[in-house]
Amino acid sequence: MAGQVKKPVKITETVLRDAHQSLIATRMTTEQMLPIIDKMDKVGYHSVECWGGATFDASLRFLKEDPWERLRKLRAGFKNTKLQMLFRGQNILGYNHYADDVVEYFVEKSMYNGIDIIRIFDCFNDLRNLKTAVSASNREKKKYPNGQKEVQVALSYTLGEAYTLDYWKDTAKRIEDMGADSICIKDMAGLLVPYQATELVEALKAGTKLPIQMHTHYTSGVASMTYLKAVEAGADIIDTAMSPFSMGTSQPATEVMVETFKGSPYDTGLDQNLLAEIADYFRPMQEEALKSGLLNPKVMGVNIKTLLYQVPGGMLSNLVSQLKEAKQEDKYYQVLEEIPRVRKDFGEPPLVTPSSQIVGTQAVLNVLQGERYKMVTKESKKVLAGEFGETVKPFNPEVQKKAIGDTKPITCRPADLIEPELEKFRKECAEWIQQDEDVLSYALFPQVATEFFKYRAAQQSKVDPTLADTVNKAYPV
Ligand code: CO
């Protein structure tokens, strides 16, 4: 390889977001993160992904933490490293479409509190659903020194007839025209196999000049090979996780990828000794999670069914728990086979939050009811009424008719029909507001945020929160 031009591959570390979301149900606390960030800040990562996805919901709901406070603490600790978040387009970090004013305010406050790189995606790859988040990010970006903030758009990767190389190439070009600074191939289910990664990256490179970042999961067992081929084909950045929280449903291990490229033109230049010290910090946390059952060894292996059924890891575990609840675990394989059929009826969208939950739940109902679409969830109706946007293929007209009757589906950008709602939310949660950002927590998760606000107030007035009567929702003050 002598004489080859050096092109060090950049690393985004996911241990503080996707890795613990994928392996331990997003339960890593801020207190667990803070002691190691000084060391992580010295690594020279391209960025550290630390916010978005389920972290926001889990912080408020399970950890009784203010996600905004976490972000500010991480920002204070990471003095040299860019912080990255995941943003679900018009769904922000929630599961529904929000009005533009909420999306814009969320972008503003995310950057203000310390996010440098916003990775924005839509579960249908309907670019209209990204428009507001991307333009708000570009507007906000100007308030900060040049090059500090970055707007990345992610393609939700999936397989299917409609998803040709030309489709991806054209979509990438449109993303560039929208004003994104970089593009991510977001392969949430680990469907992208090595040689197809070569073709895909080459196609995107032919379609756009933007840097390409790779994001995948180890679920199907091919992830590190996919990264290798993607980097050789020109991918600029890869998402990896520190080894104790890598592999399985998480990302390839950071140390392994660093070692893989050592001495090659793609040498990351990262210090293995420093990475080893960081891994030493996270290892007891992994062991503890294994002991407590929070980390199920099952999610750490290879699940080849993900390639057969194209179902992301998180969706598989949801499915199992839904069937368990209904005491119908023997229907597992029937449901797995129903998922691709429902996906087809729904216009063959990628399966990623929230479409993965919607398709998965509908598939469970179709099997358990013994008749397809006998019961249709509210969310399925919304999808078939166009309220999540446009899918790459048309909906199955019979299923659509059965689900929404004669209701006329919408064809415009769904958020065009949503009135501004920030002021309404402000009024609703006025009694709890202690910081500007609280209205955003409330907008996304009204009940969960209100519970958290009550808990916070009880803490501040020095009332023992364990005394709180959570059944009657009353806190002794
Ligand atoms: Co992911």
Q: Give me ligand 1 centre to Cα 313, in Å.
A: 10
Triad 153, 155, 158: Cα angle to 5°: 165
Residue 319 confidence (pLDDT): 83
pLDDT at 75: 98
Residue 475: the pLDDT is 42
Instruction: Write down the pLDDT at residue 4.
Output: 77
State which amino acid sits at residue 161.
E
Sign of the dihedral defined by the CA atoms of residues 296, 297, 299, 304, in that order: negative
In angstroms, what is the span from residue 216 Cα to ligand 1's centroid? 6
Q: Do residues 57 and 28 make contact, with C-beta atoms less than 8 angstroms apart? A: no
Distance (angstroms) between ligand 1 centre and the Cα of 200 equals 18
21 Cα to the center of ligand 1, angstroms: 9
User: 202, exposed or middle or buried, with CB in 10 Å at 0-12, 13-18, 19+?
Assistant: middle
**DSSP tally for the chain: helices H, then strands E:** 20, 8
Distance 369 CA to ligand 1 centre (A): 32
Place of tokens 């591959």: 9
CA 14 – ligand 1 centroid, Å: 9
Sign of CA dihedral 396, 398, 402, 406: positive
Query: How far apart are the CA of 427 and the centre of ligand 1, in A?
Result: 35
Dist. CA 237–CA 11, nearest whole Å: 6
> How close is the Cα of 18 to the center of ligand 1, in Å?
6
The pLDDT value given to residue 465: 54
List 186's β-bridge partners, or say none: 156, 215
Find tokens 């797995």 and name the residue. Answer: 336
Is the pTM above the cut of 0.95? no
At 85 the three-state DSSP class reads strand
186 Cα: distance to centroid of ligand 1 (angstroms): 7
φ/ψ (deg, to 5) at 475: -115, 130
Q: How far, in Å, is the centroid of ligand 1 from the Cα of 375?
A: 31
The CA R_g of the chain, rounded to the nearest whole Å, is: 22
3-state secondary structure of 220: helix
CA of 431 to the centre of ligand 1 (A): 36
CA 462–ligand 1 middle distance (angstroms):
39
Ligand 1: distance of its center to the CA of 19 in Å? 8
Round to whole Å and give the CA distance between 61 and 55: 10
According to DSSP, the residues that pair with 119 across neighbouring strands are 86, 152
CB-based contact 388:355 (threshold 8 Å): yes
Which of the 8 DSSP states describes residue 392?
S
pLDDT of residue 3: 61
**How many angstroms does the Cα of residue 458 sit away from the middle of ligand 1?**
35
Single-letter residue type at 293: G
Alpha carbon of 423 to ligand 1 centroid (Å): 33
Cα 340 to middle of ligand 1, angstroms: 21
**Mean pLDDT in order along the chain per 10 residues (477 residues):** 81 97 94 98 98 94 97 98 97 94 98 98 97 98 94 96 96 97 96 97 96 96 97 98 96 98 98 98 97 89 81 74 89 91 96 90 95 96 96 97 96 97 98 98 97 96 60 43
